Chain A
């Protein structure tokens, strides 16, 4: 059974700091991996999607890497801002069995960026 773990569960940093969020998964047979952002009382917003054949994706100050063989992904946030405060969720899609479209999520990392 695929399990997704995110470390740390919570993180507080001063504004301007670079930071790394970690995600690990137990079954390397994934189709893709996504990082989402969730603000309180809101739905999830997709930040980056990495296909299983890719090693990384970048969008602005965000960079996500994927090492499928070791079952790990990292989300790097450069020059953090208070507006980055949110919960960040990692999710994988299996490449076999189950629904073609469902994702398996970690519990998230709650990030707080202090001004």
Chain B
């Protein structure tokens, strides 16, 4: 596609529910990143994929967070047993390079509200 597509745009979850957020990167982009942006804050790194390999998951806040990119294209971020502090915008970004930060294209994000 022309850009990075994320779905859903908005998600309201009851505390304790599991959610799955989808990211469709630009076709052919090797690198894919997930960031979490709380209200009034800058984005914070969650995890990084190079093709299907998850090379860095150091930013995932707890073992309730899980991400995958099984075929090296679409990625899913799953949050189990959601809690109120998980409320944030989840941003996905991709670029065509390995291990570089040039050429980032961000999606519009998924706004998750946990009630």
Contacts and interface: CB of A to CB of B under 8 A. Distances in A.
What interface size band does chain A fall in? 20 to 34
Interface of B: 4, 31, 33, 40-45, 48, 55-56, 58-59, 91, 93, 95, 97-109
Contact of B45 (A31, A41, A99): A99
Contact of B108 (A4, A43, A89, A106): A43
Nearest to A44: B106
Contacts of A89: 42-43
A93 interface: yes
A41 to B, nearest CB: 7
A107 B4 contact: no
Given A41-B108, A99-B56, A99-B58, A106 B42 contact: yes
A107 B41 CA distance: 5
A93 B43 CA distance: 13
B24 to A, nearest CB: 13
Contact of B56 (A43, A44, A102): A102
Nearest to A104: B45
Which 6 residue pairs are nearest across A and B when measured between Cβ atoms?
A: A100-B99, A105-B42, A43-B106, A99-B56, A102-B45, A44-B106
Interface of A: 4, 31-32, 34, 41-46, 49, 89, 91, 93, 98-108
Given A32-B101, A98-B58, A99-B55, A43 B42 contact: no
A108 B40 CA distance: 8
Contacts of B42: 4, 89, 91, 105-108
